[in-house]
Amino acid sequence: MPGKTLDARRKGGDSEKITINLGYVDLGQVDLLVQEGFYSNRTDFIRTAIRNQLDRHDEAVRQSIIRHQLELGLRHYHRAELEAAVAARQVLHIQVLGLAIIDADVSPELARAAIGSLHVLGALHAGPAVKAALADRIH
């Protein structure tokens, strides 16, 4: 269902917070570049550095996405879609690189009935009960 996948990298405002540890000298160099106006802040520097590394490995990432049959971007699973899968006796094997969202109105029982496996590289947004119900299926 690639048609329902959105490019999460291009969508502004939605992001996941991470924490990194840097050595004092590296951090000082980042601060110097910010002070000199090369970057607006530390986050801008780190985001740019990460994107540069991702661009550097772009071909390897593309091949891995194809090899692992991952949906790229933002993938939203609505209750109606999961109910349709159950009605058709289909089990979904979800593989997303980016952000996977399972709607808040999806019950744990429906999630278990519709989803056979869940592999998300990035972030999964689902209610705690749904995550608990799928815990043995999350890779």
Q: Does residue 123 fall inside a structural domain?
A: yes
Same domain, 51 and 76: no
Q: Does residue 19 fall inside a structural domain?
A: no
Q: What is the pTM of this model?
A: 0.74
Burial class (CB in 10 A: 0-12, 13-18, 19+), 46: middle
Same domain, 48 and 91: no
Same domain, 67 and 130: yes
Q: In which domain, by residue range, is 83 found?
A: 59-137
Q: Does residue 74 fall inside a structural domain?
A: yes
Q: What's the pLDDT score for residue 14? A: 72
pLDDT digits (tens, 9 = 90+) for 73-108: 999 999 999 999 999 999 999 999 999 999 999 999
Same domain, 77 and 92: yes
Q: Does residue 10 fall inside a structural domain?
A: no
pLDDT digits (tens, 9 = 90+) for 20-63: 999 999 999 999 999 999 999 999 999 999 999 999 999 999 99
Q: What's the pLDDT score for residue 134? A: 98
